[in-house]
Amino acid sequence: MNTDLYKKLHNEGLISDETLEKIIAKNTTPLFSLHWELKTLLYLGVTLLSTGLGVLIYKNIDTIGHQFILLFIAAICAGCFIYCIKNRNPFSREKSDSPSSFYDYILLLGCLSLLSFLGYLQFQYHVFGDNYGLATLIPMLILFYVAYEFDHIGILCMGITNLAIWLGLTVNPYTILSNGLGSNNSLIIPYLFLGLFLLAAGYVSERYNFKKHFKFTYQNFGLNISFLALFTGYFTTYDNALSFLWLIGVFVLAFILYTDALKNKSFYFLLLIILYAYTAISTLIVRVLFNMNSEAAFVMGLLYFIGSAICLIIALIQLNKKIKES
């Protein structure tokens, strides 16, 4: 990096003497940050290690003694947690900065090995009997506790996933899309409740200023789950005359979330909400046009998509401007 540009700006009176000195002093010893690389390596190390341990245990389950394996995982898990407890910052309702990125990933490793430990315990000794609800409830509670206590968003995500497993479903959107919830009607309602619950959790954490920065994660999961559930509800009851009620749900939810996203100036959520709402309107209009079943309807459909997309582009640009100015 050269300082010529700064000097030029200084000559034009745009940069004060003080700032220029500071920048020149900094540039005599330029720093090269390995932060990103080290973080990626840590993440990779944790993932590889926990995967490798899992496979190792699974393959050798008959040859090594069970107690020994359990002890081994417990030792790793305990080691991780001891390290984290020793190095942690005191609990706070606000965001507490983690001591180092190494700490973050050791906590992740600890939680992953804890899940292995509990899973192994259940598989080998049936600690929870056939009560699978309990077997997933306990890891979930622990994960949520750890996420809040140690302030770790990655573990919060794991907790939310486990919450979904506990409810008897899996959050991964890809599995939903590939399996097609349609064949599994009974899951739509719990799914919708899960989504709304997570949205509420996000709202509460902001409203009562308790780990405010978790809101994004809650809202991200909650928003996608709720909208997907509403859309699946609509398409599974497509032939029913009352199916439009699901889409009304989409619009109501979109409106509520829209005002919230506008308040928080979140472009990410605004884009998601707009695209979901647009899909809802388009499905309605395409449906009406299909019922007309004429050439004019075909042309109207084409015109609708061109016109609506242009309108949305203008709206997006305006919205962007509005948020930037405010």
Partner 1 sequence: MIIYNKTWLANLIIQDQMNKSVIAGDLPKEEFKNIERTYPVGFYSPNIFVRTGLFVLTCIIALFGGCLLSYIFWDTGMVDSGGWILFLGLISYIALEIVVKKKNHFRSGTDDALLWISGGLFCVSFVWMTAKLNWFFNNGDLHSSIPIATFALLLSIYLALRFADSLMALFSFLALLSLIVMLAIYHLSFGASILPFLVMLISAVVYYFFLSAGSKLKFVHYQHCLLFLQTGSLLTLYLAGNYYVVQQLGNELYGYTSIGPYKVPYPIFFWPWTILVPFIYTGLGIYKKNVILLRTGLVLIAIAAITFKNYYHVLPIEVTLVLIGLFTLAGSYLTIRYLKTPRNGFTSRELQQDTIAGGINMESLIIATTQLDAPKGTETRFGGGDFGGGGSSSTF
Q: Does 116 bind partner 1 (CB under 8 A)?
A: yes
Tokens for 247, please give them: 């889409």
C-alpha separations of 31 from 3, 24, 240, 283 in Å: 15, 13, 65, 54
Question: Which one of 112, 229, 230, 250 is in contact with partner 1 (CB under 8 A)?
Answer: 112
Contacts with partner 1 in 43-62 (CB under 8 A)? 44-59
Q: Write out the binding residues for partner 1, residues 8-27 only, by CB under 8 A.
A: 9, 12, 14-16, 19, 22-23, 26
Whole-angstrom Cα distance, residue 21 to residue 293? 73
Q: What is the DSSP string of 226-278?
A: HHHHHHHHHHHTTTSGGGHHHHHHHHHHHHHHHHHHHHHT-HHHHHHHHHHHH
Considering the rule CB under 8 A, would residue 64 count as an interface residue with partner 1? no
The stretch among 32-40, 197-205, 238-246, 248-256 that binds partner 1 (CB under 8 A) is 32-40
| Binding positions for partner 1, 187-216, rule CB under 8 A | 187, 216
Q: Are 114 and 158 in contact (CB under 8 A)?
A: no
From 253, 232, 251, select the one nearest 243 (Cα to Cα).
232
Kindly state whether residue 68 participates in binding partner 1, applying the rule CB under 8 A.
Answer: no
Residue of 85, 94, 298, 322 that binds partner 1 (CB under 8 A): 298
Nearest approach, Cβ of 250 to partner 1 (angstroms)?
18
Of residues 200 and 310, the one with the C-beta less far from partner 1 = 310
Q: Does 145 bind partner 1 (CB under 8 A)?
A: no
Mention every residue, 6+ apart, whose C-beta is less than 8 A from residue 123: none
Q: Nearer Cβ to partner 1, position 256 or 313?
A: 313
* Under rule CB under 8 A, residue 74 binds partner 1: no
Does the footprint of partner 1 cover residue 136 (CB under 8 A)?
yes
182 binds partner 1 (CB under 8 A): no
> What is the smallest separation between the CB atom of 241 and partner 1, expressed in angstroms?
29
Q: Can residue 276 be called a binding residue for partner 1 (CB under 8 A)?
A: no
| Residue 61, both tokens | 């389950």
Tell the smallest beta-carbon distance from residue 260 to partner 1 (Å): 14
Q: Binder to partner 1 among 17, 33, 291, 296 (CB under 8 A)?
A: 33
Q: Is 75 in the site for partner 1 (CB under 8 A)?
A: no
Q: Does residue 157 interact with partner 1 by CB under 8 A?
A: yes
Least distance from partner 1 to the Cβ atom of residue 45, Å: 3
- Min dist. Cβ of residue 129 to partner 1 (A): 12
Assess contact for 106 and 80: CB atoms under 8 A. Answer: yes
- Rounded Cα–Cα distance for residues 239 and 267 (Å): 36
Binding partner 1 (rule: CB under 8 A), the pick from 252, 284, 288, 310 is: 310
- Residue 293 binds partner 1, judged by CB under 8 A: no
* CB contact at 8 A, 111 and 147: no
- 311 is written with which tokens? 């309108």
Distance CA 179, CA 175 (A): 6
Closest to 225 (Cα-Cα) out of 199, 202, 251:
199
Residue (of 254, 218, 219, 248) closest to 233 by Cα position: 248
Dist. CA 120–CA 115, nearest whole Å: 8
From the list 268, 290, 292, 322, which residue makes contact with partner 1 (rule: CB under 8 A)? 268
